[in-house]
Every structure is written in structure tokens, then in C-alpha cells.
Amino acid sequence: MYSRMIVSDQPLVALLLVAGILTSTSHSQTKMSPPTAAARPKILKNHGVERTDPYYWLRDRDNPEVINYLNAENEYTDSALKDLKPLEETLFDELKGRIKQDDQSVPYTDRGYVYYTRFEDGKQYPIYCRKAEKADASEEIMLDVNLLAEGKSFCSVVGLRVSPNSRLLAFGVDFTGRRKYSLKFKDLVSGEILDDQVDNVTGSCVWAGDSKTVFFTRKDPQTLRAYLIVRHQLLTPADQDQVVFEETDEEFSCGVGSSRSREYIFIVSNQTLSTEVRYLAADDPTGEFQVFLPRRPEHEYSIDHLGDQFSIYSNEDAPNFRLFTASVSDYDRANWVERIPHRKDVYLQNYALFEDYLVLSERRQGLVHLRVLGAEAGSQVDYDVPFSESVYVASASPTPDPSTDKLRYRYTSMVTPNRVIEFDLGTQESKVLKETSVLGGFDRSNYATQREWATARDGTKIPVSIVYHKDTALDGTAPCLEYGYGSYGASMDPRFNSNILSLLDRGFVYAIAHIRGGQEMGRQWYENGKLLKKINTFTDFIDVGRFLVDEGYANAEHLYCRGGSAGGLLVGAVINMAPELYHGAIADVPFVDVVTTMLDDTIPLTTFEYDEWGNPNEKEYFDYMLSYSPYDQVRTTQYPHLLVTTGLHDSQVQYWEPAKWVAKMRARNPDSGRMLLLKTNMEAGHGGSTGRFNRLKLDATRYAFLLKLAGKQ
């Protein structure tokens, strides 16, 4: 389906000139001039507004001219960064050198087996293993992803699920990066992968109690919307599979999961503002799924099960969510009992059920607290798990057995590598089971982290997480990289990132702007950064950037920004609104052609996201989107130095968005004196390269780009 071409500089330029793809270019032995995409105007008319898109033709992935153009941009980027190759190699060696290559995860026990994941020296991919729960048990390798990846330029494995009888393994594999997975099955006794495969699925499935039946989610082949739940019995022909649910509303997608008790299978239909759950007893695979509560606008909910109760997590009259319980035998809405009420200043983010305890994940003032309650209402147990740092990230990761009184949770901060901690819910004692090893001489005492609050132009206080090397002076002389996202209610928490050390050790300050559009400060934080309030996201980021300069965290001449996907939209909007603020910017897989994409319901994710961005078929939303869409708002100005990355097979943000954006910016500003680089991974999708070492190569390029601009190489 996809064309690939690798050619050298000289023949490529000649070919493009002959083909008419490049309207002008020059080439020397030392450095190429940038390719210029041919302008082939397409008129787009909506709501009485006429837009001209000169690069619409780049949407045709199967057109050899498009592939040639992307390769030309790659050749130009390589040429422009040629003098940085030694630095890139040094950085790659640093990034790779911090990884403990022969590593292993903390094991957990489930149904008589101890499960764990390990890596071997020099190998890119994980090896999934288990041992029988007895002293003399030998290791069983369930799946060695390195073997699956042999001869493949891309390999993504997801959704590993062991059958209830512990004999079979289901897993999804994608060899293109398009996130169209094939579901495969392996007999863990014989070691054979069964002659049974289901294609074009999300990659995960749920086993029924008979260990013969699975339920999986199929995607629409064009839009990639997950819309069918299918029942499949192992070793039966695919034409005997039965659709048990079809999501006909194009603004919804659906998926399948299971309860904490494993006694129920759930089908969840959802869009941004509405949810509907169906359930089925896991030991009745041929039964009919029942609707738990019919969908209605602006009601989001989820359910879980343990014992004789359903738990219901709901935003009904509760923007920050609340928690209910209901009897399995009578769960009518009138019989729900409120367990955790709504609070304006606390966002109930998640919860975990245990037989004797209830663990809540609550956000207060932008930080996650793990709150422990007794399982029964009225219990006197009510306390927070203690944490030692003022800025951190914590998330519960319960083991499969709900009868345990041990909570496992992950803990990290911008100076503390990821830890897996076991916490006794009864004695309140903690034990660190594992801290991720960071090699290469890392010493956390060399670094400092803190939380600041920037004031946005409307007076809102925006939290900012900052980390730096203690030798770096905070007097306005340090280069600073500002990172943000600000969409979908996703919170960008201050986690440890060993790769960032390569910038910190060279004098950079790194700052995460927790801007509106995320959920760091509760649900309203999200609501105030979406739809017709989306511009708050961009102005928050700009105001944080100015705060970093004013407070001495950043050199005014060397402030940089980075974001990916919807964060790439953030970068694009910000450099249109305040191009003078940033010396350089990195936009990874950026969603920049907002209006055109959201008007095209054949593009993956479009209809599903109307409640995030708005439906531009309505003039009010069209006009608002148009006001900030980076591609539509490209102007003649001196933009920051810009590195843009994408993947040819990206299913979330199509490659043509960044490709068109770069082409238009270059045409509008041919003599800007600033670098404008597009790097397309011709063998990957939205997440970039697979393999724990391969993915570091692009980080090395990003950091070399920043260090060159900052004069720190």
C-alpha cells in the first residue's frame, strides 16, 4: 500500500526538477537548499469563506511524487544538520548508556503463576515471561518480541492477555505503525502460535470464562474508528465470528474490557462527553449484553464490579466526578448510593477496588494524592499514602488479586526515577520493590525541582514544574525548554525523564507548563481549554514562557518550546501568536491543519473529536478554529527555528498536515534566516520508531538541534 524510496542527494534533486515537484532548488557539494513543494491550488469553500490550499495534493500517500517530496525534505534535514552528526552520536550514546540493558520488571502473581517482563543486553524489545508459583519452577518465555521483530522495520505488540485456564496467550501485533493490529493466539504449553488470526482490530481482547471465546474490537478500514465488538471462538473460521455490538453513531467509538472481579465483560461506547456501558457475565459468552445505563449527552460514567456490588464513577451533576455503589441485583439509577461526593476543589481521577479497602486517586492543587478508605461505607479508615517530595507523580497499579491488603503504586518526580512501591494498607508501611536504574553516573542530588505558579493574562494561576542542574544559575542566562500539551483533559505530570538529563547537564532548564486543556487542576481546567475556550491553552503557554523569562529561569534570547500531536498544534498556534518569544521550537507529529481535517469525516478520529474541538460544519466553530489553525494562520514573519517530525503511516495526525505546514511556511518566508526542517519517518506512525534504542535516535536529533541553537554543543 505504501511506497518507499531511498535515493541520494544529486539524483533526487534532478528527479524532482524533472517531475515538477520542486519549483526551485539548488545544490552544492556542501549543503542543499531547501526543497520547495509545487503549489497546486485547491479552493475550499465553507460558510461563505474561501480558502486556498496550495499543497492539498500532498494528501495522496500512494503518489510517488509525494514520497519523493518527503524524501527530499529528509535529505535536506540531514544536510542541514550534517555538522551535528558527532553531537548526535554523543547524545545517542548518552541516552542509551543510561539504560540498564539486562533489566526486569517487578513480578506479580496471578492464578498460580508469577509474571514478569525482562530485557536482554543489546536487544530492542521485551521478553514476556512467567514461572509456576513453586520453588523449583523454570522460566517459561510466553513471547519474545525480538523474534517477532526480526526482519521488520517496525514492530508494536500490545494487549497481552492470558486465558483464565492459563494455557493460551492473546496479543496484538502491528508491523506498519498504522495501529491496525492483528490479533494472534499462542498455546503456552506447546509453544506454538495457533493458525488463527483476526485482522484490523485494536489489538486487545477479553477472554470469556471458558478460555475458548474472546471478544475483540474491529476498526473501520478507512476512518479507523473502533465500531464493532465481535465474538470469536478459537480455531473457528473468521466467517463464523459474530458481531455482538455495532456502534452506529459516528461520534462514538467502542471497546471491550473486564471487571476487577473478572466476573463481567464490559462494552464501553464513548465520545468526549458521553458514555454507555453494556455488561455480560464472563461465564456466559453466548449471552446477550445488557445496557447498564443508557447514554445521554454530557454524562460520562464507568462501572466496575467486586463482591455483590457495581461501582459507578460518574460526572452526573459533578464536574469533578463522584463515586456510587449499587447492588448487582438492583442497579436501577434510583438505587445508587453515593460513596464519594462531588467536591469543587478535588478531582476524583480514578479508584481501585479491594475486598477490604477502597483506594482513590484524587487531584488537589495539581498533584495526585492516593487516599485509602475502608471498603464499607462508614469505615473509620481514611488517610493519604505519604509522599516525601513536594512535586511528584503517583499512580496506583493494583495486582490482579483484590483480596490482598498490599497496594502497589508507581512513584516518580523530575529528579526521582520511577519506583514501584508496595504499601501495606493495614500497617501503612512502605517497601520499595524497584527503582529504575539510571546508569551513566546519575546522581539525583545534582538536580533540583520545584513548582511555580505563573499568572495568565486573565489572572488564572498556571502551575509550572521546573527541573535544572544545581550548577545552573537561575539569573536569566540559561537556555530553557518549555513543554506543554493542553488537550483531551490529559495531565502532563512531572515525571522523571532520563533523556532530559542530557540537556540539564549542558545548562538547560526544563519546564512543563500545566496549561488549561489538561486536567491538572480539575475538570474545569479541561473545560476552560477546549471548544470555544481553546485559545486559553495557547495564551497560557505564552504567559508561562514570559514568566520563565521574567523570573530568571530562561534567557530571553534562548527560550525554546516543544509539543507533540495536539501539543504540536499548541506549538504551531503559539509561534503564530508570539513568534518573537521563542528562539527555536520542536513540533512532533503536529495537528496543524485543524479546519480542513475536522471538515473531513473520512479522516481517522474526526467525528469522534467534535466535542473536543467543535464541529466546523457549524459556522461558530468554523470561525473559531480558523482563528487559531496553524496552517491557515501562517504569515510572513520571522518564525523561530523549527524542527517538525512526522510518520508516513500516522493514523492519528496524518503526515500531510506537518508536510503542508512546512511547505507553506517556507513559501511565505523564503529568506527568513531560520532553520525550517521536516523529518519524516517513512516506516513508522504516530508513536515513532519501535525498539527501546531506535526511538532514542530522534531524541538525539532533537537535543542536538536545541543545543546548536543555544550554543551549547
- The residues annotated with a catalytic role in the active site are 565, 650, 686
What phi-psi label fits residue 408: left (phi over 0), alpha (psi between -120 and 50 degrees) or beta?
A: beta
564-575 core/surface letters (b: 16 or more CB in 10 A; e: else): bbbbbbbbbbbb
Distance of alpha carbon 666 from alpha carbon 653, whole angstroms: 21
What phi, psi does 41 have (nearest 5°)? Answer: -60, 135
User: Concatenated DSSP letters for 608-657?
Assistant: GGHHHH--TTSHHHHHHHHHH-TTTT--SS-PPEEEEEEETT-SSS-THH
Distance of alpha carbon 650 from alpha carbon 659, whole angstroms: 12
No. of helices (H) and no. of strands (E), the chain = 13, 37
In one-letter notation, the amino acid at residue 28 is S
For residue 31, what are the CA distances in angstroms to 9, 80, 83? 10, 7, 10
CB 118 within 8 A of CB 130: no
Distance of alpha carbon 676 from alpha carbon 77, whole angstroms: 9
In one-letter notation, the amino acid at residue 513 is A
Rounded to 10 degrees, the C-alpha dihedral 53/57/59/60 comes to 170
In one-letter notation, the amino acid at residue 34 is P
CB 656 within 8 A of CB 62: no
CB 181 within 8 A of CB 158: yes
Residues found in the chain: 713
CB atoms within 10 A of CB 283: 14
607-617 core/surface letters (b: 16 or more CB in 10 A; e: else): bbbbbbbbbbe
Distance of alpha carbon 8 from alpha carbon 75, whole angstroms: 8
What phi, psi does 119 have (nearest 5°)? Answer: -120, 150
Q: What angle do CA 184, 229, 129 make, to 5 degrees?
A: 30
